[in-house]
Amino acid sequence: MQKRILIVEDEASIRDMVAFALRKAGMEAIPAADARAAQLAIAEQVPDLILLDWMLPGTSGLELARRLRKEDPGREIPIIMLTARGEEMDRVNGLEAGVDDYVVKPFSTRELLARIKAVLRRSKGDDGSGNVEINGLRIDGPAHRVFAGTDAVPIGPTEYRLLYFFMTHPERVYTRAQLLDHVWGGSVYVEERTVDVHIRRLRKTLEPWQLDRMVQTVRGSGYRFSASP
């Protein structure tokens, strides 16, 4: 099935260049010049992925990402941020807002397409297809949903994959590099700092049910998922 990609970019030249590359790659490109147009497009038909420019007029891309992550259906749509801001803190801010990946301008369409395909593989792959339960925290793999007791837990796509990996490999310590390899895939370049950002987001997701304690930091080694304190 043709993938539907929403391009949220106020610069027409960049928007048209990306749309042309997407169509050439067999994808459907949906253009939007600002946050309002993007939200209208999502309401009309949910895209498979969003390319989101950081510096949009009015509501910024960063703020739009935060809004989308707060409610369905935006919570589950993978987002790649397009940004001229390449500093580490800027990238961390984007990841903490709920972005799954980022591409720094200027970029080649070849790099962008590779990133899109990698994120789509991660979000729609086979990982997370089983059922698993630990201490009242349950993953319904076929539905791609998480429950704390009977409560549905709102969770983003990257945090879902991270939680699924942890819950299917409990009581073991994994380094950041190992988590990147298992959760993000070894062929994708992502900085190790990215793991820390998503660990914080996963803990924040589980905190209302006091389940965040199961995601444990092992000083000097990495992270472990454990039902024991």
**Domains of the chain, first to last:** 3-123 (3.40.50.2300), 132-225 (1.10.10.10)
> What does the alpha-carbon distance between residue 153 and residue 130 come to, in Å, rounded to a whole number?
17
Tell which residue, 22, 84, 27, 97, has the closest CA to residue 53.
84
Q: Flag whether pLDDT at 20 surpasses 80.
A: yes
Model confidence at 160, pLDDT cuts 50, 70, 90, reads very high
User: What per-residue confidence (pLDDT) applies to 70?
Assistant: 83
Model confidence at 171, pLDDT cuts 50, 70, 90, reads confident
User: What per-residue confidence (pLDDT) applies to 211?
Assistant: 96
What are the start-end ranges of the H helices in the chain? 12-24, 35-44, 61-68, 88-96, 109-124, 157-168, 176-179, 193-206
More confident position, 94 or 221: 221
Measured torsion, CA atoms of residues 158, 186, 141, 213, in degrees rounded to the nearest 10? -60
More confident position, 180 or 5: 5
Model confidence at 98, pLDDT cuts 50, 70, 90, reads confident
Average pLDDT, the chain: 88
More confident position, 126 or 172: 172
Model confidence at 35, pLDDT cuts 50, 70, 90, reads very high
Burial (0-12, 13-18, 19+ Cβ within 10 Å), 28: middle
Q: Flag whether pLDDT at 55 surpasses 80.
A: yes
Mean pLDDT across the stretch 15-28? 96
Mean pLDDT across the stretch 55-83? 88
> What does the alpha-carbon distance between residue 124 and residue 78 come to, in Å, rounded to a whole number?
10
User: What per-residue confidence (pLDDT) applies to 191?
Assistant: 77
